[in-house]
């Protein structure tokens, strides 16, 4: 009987609690499809430009969690890398640890930042159907 009460209490404790967001990426640029707000949630979903939640694969969720860990130190410092000449895209990332910003021409570009740009491009095209031409 005690086990049933414990299981019921644990089940009720988890109900109604939304999964935390891992990070939000705001990508901007000159062309229409460059402008994107991508919100990645720890429940394995993303929203694109405020739309409906869309499921992502477990592999994509693991990539997102790894990116969040790798970017946290820079976000805590609120790192803003200046753009280099002729930027095409700029990124602003918000997460629990803080925020960071950079452009595709920022140098030196840490590898986690490059991975984030690839992740954002992949998810926006594959999951959201937002393709840049």
pLDDT single digits (tens) 43-69: 999 999 999 999 999 999 999 999 999
| Domain limits, the chain | 19-126
Spatial separation of the C-alpha atoms in residues 104 and 74, rounded to whole Å: 17
Instruction: Record the pTM.
Output: 0.85
Q: Which residue's entry shows tokens 């999964």?
A: 19
H-assigned helices in 15-129? 58-76, 111-126
Spatial separation of the C-alpha atoms in residues 16 and 42, rounded to whole Å: 15
pLDDT value of position 28 = 97
Spatial separation of the C-alpha atoms in residues 133 and 115, rounded to whole Å: 20
Each residue's pLDDT tens digit, 65-86: 999 999 999 999 999 999 999 9
Task: Name beta bridge partners: 59.
Answer: none
pLDDT value of position 125 = 96
**pLDDT band per the 50, 70, 90 thresholds, residue 2:** low
For the segment 102-125, the average pLDDT, to the nearest whole number, is 96
């Amino acid at each position: 009987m005690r086990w049933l009460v414990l299981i019921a209490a644990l089940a009720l404790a988890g109900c109604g609690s939304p999964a935390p967001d891992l990070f939000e990426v705001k990508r901007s640029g000159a062309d229409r499809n460059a402008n994107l707000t991508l919100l990645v949630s720890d429940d394995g979903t993303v929203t694109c430009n405020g739309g409906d939640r869309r499921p992502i694969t477990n592999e994509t969720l693991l990539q997102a969690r790894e990116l969040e860990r790798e970017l946290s130190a820079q976000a805590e410092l609120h790192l803003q890398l200046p753009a280099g000449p002729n930027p095409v895209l700029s990124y602003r990332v918000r997460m629990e640890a803080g925020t960071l910003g950079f452009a595709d021409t920022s140098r030196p570009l840490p590898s986690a930042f490059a991975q984030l740009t690839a992740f954002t491009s992949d998810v926006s095209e594959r999951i959201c159907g937002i393709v840049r031409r």
